[in-house]
Structure 1
């Protein structure tokens, strides 16, 4: 494990709390309880540990819930939205999380992430992943150098080729960067099942450390091809769109949780949907995006306690309609 990436077991923990409970407390002015260390809480009960899973290429273990920065971190400095973001990262780290995923296509997200980590002295707690999203070797190198500058690091944990754009060119560069120690892992991404033919071809032809794809209770195409192939080829899998791009969670949040949610320790729909994603054994980490500390704390709880077997969902399907 690299010196800058602290073991998840050493991260401070926060008390488990459901999304609904947190929101009620926040409205009452007590939101600070969620981000307090166990020593400051009333009963001093430590939070449950977040599960970790190995990166097949090395065996290094990653916490199973991270944070995506699309939209939520593309905000102006000193805006109201920006003022919430330190709490998002603190909630991630307090829960034992580490993975923060960004991209140059996310506007200000890389620069905001770097600024927040630097201000809190938290670079050592983060597993930083970003992407190259352009064409041509020279432009790709320029863009990756800019990502390093924005994120305020000299080496990245993971660089991914965004949506397979000019992947042959960038993969050659990334192998050079990995050999030189400028990136630790390399991978490719996509977010739509329509790209799975091309993605599958790349996965079969190339040695990759990571693949990032969409997968949720209402976008299950990856189960048939991509997830089994990743397991076969020894690739770690990061899941984007675990809430179906947000539409699924919006549809479900007004419904009561099914009674069987308690059997797997889920106290919110977000936790239930994330536990569904994590049930697949090929999944390494899910990166739901959020700009709210209470949602990050709630999401992180999905990575604790019971992660059911895939067969659980046959008996307990999620109605995504």
Structure 2
């Protein structure tokens, strides 16, 4: 049953969209492609969002208001997956406030992390995470960069058994972590893995992505833009002609399409605080994907 507060939140969100006609225009495009989570069969849109950097803003500031519009564009465009962490400079608290103000929590597939070195520290952090995110559960709980994973993964599974999270997983963001991630995937039952994969860092496709696919583990991709460094490399360069023929309209779209074109990838989670970039990124989840030959061309170009 909806209360007065829920109605006010929904009205505020609709008002935000109405005040920005280009947001609603962007949301009228074709639906996002989806991939299923092997552990459950649940479908997720292939374009998600991250919070590192972009959500580290002061509530009420101009940057916060811009972020609010970006999030409105994300949900209006069919996005669901948002990945955050308690050690992203307060980004989780900002995300929690935005989700509550916009009335978007029910639409959001909320992923966060445990980054602690003891059971006691993890319990304290988890309690703070729920408070910051203004929720009593999340969809995905991940062990951040394999930190103390031997203790924290069992704790995450306990929380899953309690209904505090639906899925558990592990993360890393460097090629140097892939071997250990792969060994854990071989030995431990996991729902998700989050790793880096980009046109200039395609090593995950050699062993790790096929392994996740064989083991039935969903995959989130971080650093698809190499923390923005890829854009410096393509400044003033035109897109490949074959990419434009696929309907790709920007380098950001092409970098994201590269990631989601691998069949093992469930979703990619680029971060942005700008509504225009958010809409551009969502377009990467529409239309045809890259074939093997096109992925190889990009890898050669950025090697």
* Same fold by TM-score greater than 0.5: yes
The question of 1:184 aligning with 2:172 is answered no
Equivalent of residue 45 in structure 2, options 63, 79, 83 = 63
Which residue number in structure 2 is paired with residue 121 of structure 1? 103
Q: 1:316 to 1:246 in 2, by over 3 A?
A: closer
Equivalent of residue 79 in structure 1, options 44, 56, 61 = 61
Which residue number in structure 2 is paired with residue 26 of structure 1? none
C-alpha distance in structure 1 between counterparts of 2:274 and 2:298, whole Å: 29
The question of 1:295 aligning with 2:283 is answered no
Equivalent of residue 224 in structure 1, options 206, 213, 219 = 206
Deviation, structure 1 residue 260? 1.4
Which residue number in structure 2 is paired with residue 111 of structure 1? 93
Equivalent residue of 2:150, what SS? helix
8 Å contact from structure 2 (residues 28, 77) kept in 1: no
Deviation, structure 1 residue 303? 0.2
C-alpha distance in structure 1 between counterparts of 2:181 and 2:66, whole Å: 36
8 Å contact from structure 2 (residues 200, 299) kept in 1: no
- Write out aligned runs for 1:148-297 (5 A): 148-297=130-279
Deviation, structure 1 residue 316? 6.1
C-alpha distance in structure 2 between counterparts of 1:143 and 1:215, whole Å: 28
C-alpha distance in structure 1 between counterparts of 2:163 and 2:235, whole Å: 44
C-alpha distance in structure 1 between counterparts of 2:41 and 2:291, whole Å: 22
C-alpha distance in structure 2 between counterparts of 1:139 and 1:49, whole Å: 41
Deviation, structure 1 residue 279? 0.9
Q: Show structure 2 runs of 5+ residues with no match.
A: 1-18
C-alpha distance in structure 1 between counterparts of 2:219 and 2:292, whole Å: 16
Deviation, structure 1 residue 75? 1.0
Equivalent residue of 1:213, what SS? strand
TM-score, scaled to structure 2: 0.90
TM-score, scaled to structure 1: 0.85
User: How large is the Cα RMSD of the aligned pairs?
Assistant: 1.6
8 Å contact from structure 1 (residues 64, 303) kept in 2: yes
User: Is the helix fraction higher in 1 or 2?
Assistant: 2
C-alpha distance in structure 1 between counterparts of 2:243 and 2:107, whole Å: 31
Equivalent of residue 91 in structure 1, options 46, 65, 73 = 73
Deviation, structure 1 residue 195? 1.1
Aligned length: 285
C-alpha distance in structure 2 between counterparts of 1:315 and 1:285, whole Å: 22
C-alpha distance in structure 2 between counterparts of 1:268 and 1:51, whole Å: 18
8 Å contact from structure 1 (residues 158, 186) kept in 2: yes
Question: 1:140-185 CA distances to partner (integer Å, 9 max, x unpaired)?
Answer: 1111121111111111000100000010111111111111101000
C-alpha distance in structure 2 between counterparts of 1:150 and 1:227, whole Å: 32
Deviation, structure 1 residue 318? 6.2
C-alpha distance in structure 2 between counterparts of 1:314 and 1:233, whole Å: 25
